[in-house]
Amino acid sequence: ESTKPSNFLRQIIEKDLEQGTYATRRWAGAPGDAAHHAQGEPDPAKIRTRFPPEPNGYLHIGHAKSICINFGLARDYGGVCHLRFDDTNPEKEDTEYVNSIIDAVKWLGFDWAQLGQAPGSAAPYQASDYFGFMYRAAEYLIEAGHAYVDEQTTEQMRANRGDFSKPGVDSPFRSRTPEENLRIFREMRDGQHEDGSMVLRAKIDMASPNINMRDPAIYRIRRATHHNTGDTWCIYPMYTYAHPIEDALEQITHSLCTLEFEDQRPFYDWLLERLTEGGLLASPPPRQYEFARLNLTYVITSKRKLAQLVYDHKVSGWDDPRMPTIVGLRRRGYTPEALQVFAERIGVTKSDSWIDYSTLEGCLREDLELKAHRGMAVLNPVKLVLTNWDDVMGAGHLEPCSLPALPHPPEGVESPVRHFTIGKEVWIEREDFEEVPPKGYKRLFPGNKVRLKGGYVIECTGCTKDADGVITEVLATVVPDTKSGTPGADSVKVKAAITWVGVADGVNAEVRMYDRLFLDAHPDAGGKDFIESLNPNSLRVVTAIVEPSLANAQLDDKFQFERHGYFVADRVDHRAEKPVFNLAVGLKDSWGK
Ligand code: ATP
Ligand code: MG
Ligand code: MG
């Protein structure tokens, strides 16, 4: 039992565990049936969930929610979760996507099982491996009078399906005998009919108020080579038929999906009931439960639309740090922990709503606050010259300084220490000097004293300018014996400490400052063209100067650049000799504006 906040899915699972709903699964049919053999023995796992992506694109933040729900519930209740590639559509799959999905699930911190195989060693399932069983099940439905071959044209079928206001009309082919249906279905399988000339339909109820129950198509003819089964088949099952069977064969207990599948649930139940009756599947069958999909402001979560951004070069690729894909979020500096906390925090509900983007950012900020090493980086540099340095400190002298990398290290752990030096010249932020200070300004202006963080107190004396009046150097004097961490540090009181990087040991770095990809909070709502709301300033590249500890970053290392926000060493482009950092998230919420 878990201590996490309850939700309707947890309540359902807890009740099933209490009642032992799935503790004993049994076959209704003859034990020797070849179909059972394919499924192995009933496996009394406590609960068994699955994450069933179609390998036709990269996973996004919405899928992360689904992954965390499915794998998280299985983990919390001592069960297992399957990873299944829903590859029953022969045209769209690609191994590039298969590999990226495997990486994404693992990176999020989850591992999948198979029947009889524990997490860690199991391969993912492939729905196409069940084509043989799906075909046999279709023959069973035909023999039992539950399915028929329909030769109406697509237009006739659509017209005869009716709509919400009127019942459908029976197909003239609906009353064919099982023998005739079986013969023609086998001809379909054997390639004797043209693509699109006929379909196999479930025989349910053309007057059902649920249009999905008006004899849905379950098999179609499609001469296409499948990445797994090659040219073995020229007929392929429809998703609505394939999916319940996939769940049942894997002995899934709770099949969790998004709300748009709610209207499909009666067919899901109808199909599994028929096949269980026929002894083809174990009983009780899995049950489907729907939860609200994730809608995040300023984000689109449609694979098709995300693909358009990639193919139209609106972003640099699927892993562009502005993309809501898992690879994009990862490159942006998101951590698996932050995404897991996000999934917990938004919870599971039965009605659609919009989640504010700041909720996601808040989860990352919280995670990095305690973990990310601190460092100083100057993003908009101007040179500060300490004009008395050579006299009071010695010509060319570099004074070693240090600061803790973690201001709040975990209990009993000492923070690592960052080392850097101060000399006659340092870089400071241009905004930290004002020739004529606005009211309340506490940083550098002529006559004012501030601390260079981790270094000395300095007193500003003025600046130099070029012919255009642009400030080229800020001038100051160092106040000796005020170095941080020495007894004299507090001898001079100042109202501000500013960040800086030494000219001698600072390293140039490319820093990619990201902003929201869309200006509209609901970029694709109501049929809007989301391309029109692309933010033209979603990426600004600056050359920053960073302290030496930052230049030594490993790929994917996250830092807090003091006062600027959290940054990550870009996992693709960062090099020791040419550091590249991405802005992951600012220090404060900027989305409410
Ligand atoms: P898209 O509409 O972006 O193409 P999809 O729903 O077709 O996504 P699948 O690969 O079929 O993508 O999805 C795998 C699982 O992820 C499904 O169970 C689906 O319900 C779930 N899922 C997809 N998008 C979201 C979302 N925005 N929020 C929660 N779950 C989602
Ligand atoms: Mg899909
Ligand atoms: Mg979809």
pLDDT for residue 591: 56
Beta strands in 29-154 (DSSP E): 48-51, 80-85, 125-126, 147-150
303-373+509-585 shares the fold of 133-237: no
- The conformation of residue 234, written as its DSSP 8-state character, comes to S
162: helix, strand or coil: coil
Mutate to test the pocket of ligand 1, among 246, 258, 346 (most ligand atoms within 8 A of CB): 258
Structure tokens, 333: 């500096």
Give the start-to-end residue ranges of the domains of the chain: 8-126+240-296, 133-237, 303-373+509-585, 377-498
The answer as to CATH 3.90.800.10 being correct for domain 133-237 is: yes
Question: What ipTM score was computed for the predicted complex, to two decimals?
Answer: 0.95
Structure tokens, 512: 């990619």
Q: In angstroms, how far is CA 277 from the centroid of its own chain?
A: 40
Q: Hey, which residues does 425 pair with through a beta bridge?
A: 385
pLDDT for residue 174: 98
Ligand 1 contact via 402 beta carbon (within 6 Å): no
Distance 22 CA to ligand 3 centre (A): 30
**Of 46, 161, 220, 293, which residue is the catalytic one?**
293
Residues 6+ apart with CB under 8 A from 55: 85, 86, 87, 92, 93, 94, 95, 97, 98, 101
- CB-proximal residues (5 Å) to ion ligand 2: 54
Ligand 1 contact via 54 beta carbon (within 6 Å): yes
Distance 270 CA to ligand 2 centre (A): 21
pLDDT for residue 42: 64
Distance 301 CA to ligand 1 centre (A): 9
Q: Which CATH class is domain 303-373+509-585?
A: mainly beta
pLDDT for residue 33: 53
Is 180 catalytic? The answer is no
**Which CATH topology does 8-126+240-296 take?**
Rossmann fold (3.40.50)
Which CATH superfamily does the domain covering 377-498 fall into? Ribosomal Protein L25; Chain P (2.40.240.10)
If the chain, 593 residues long, is cut into consecutive pieces of 10 residues, what is the mean pLDDT of each piece? 80 94 72 54 79 94 97 95 94 83 97 90 94 96 98 96 95 98 98 98 97 98 93 97 96 96 98 93 93 96 94 97 98 98 94 94 96 97 98 97 94 94 98 96 97 98 97 98 94 96 97 97 92 97 97 95 97 95 91 51
Is 424 catalytic? The answer is no
Question: Are the C-beta atoms of residues 510 and 578 closer than 8 Å to each other?
Answer: yes
Ligand nearest to the CA of 60: 1
Ligand 1 contact via 100 beta carbon (within 6 Å): no
Q: Is the dihedral of CA 30, 33, 35, 39 positive or negative?
A: positive
Structural element, H or E, at residue 37: helix 34-39
Distance 355 CA to ligand 3 centre (A): 19
**pTM of the full structure:** 0.93
Is 293 catalytic? The answer is yes
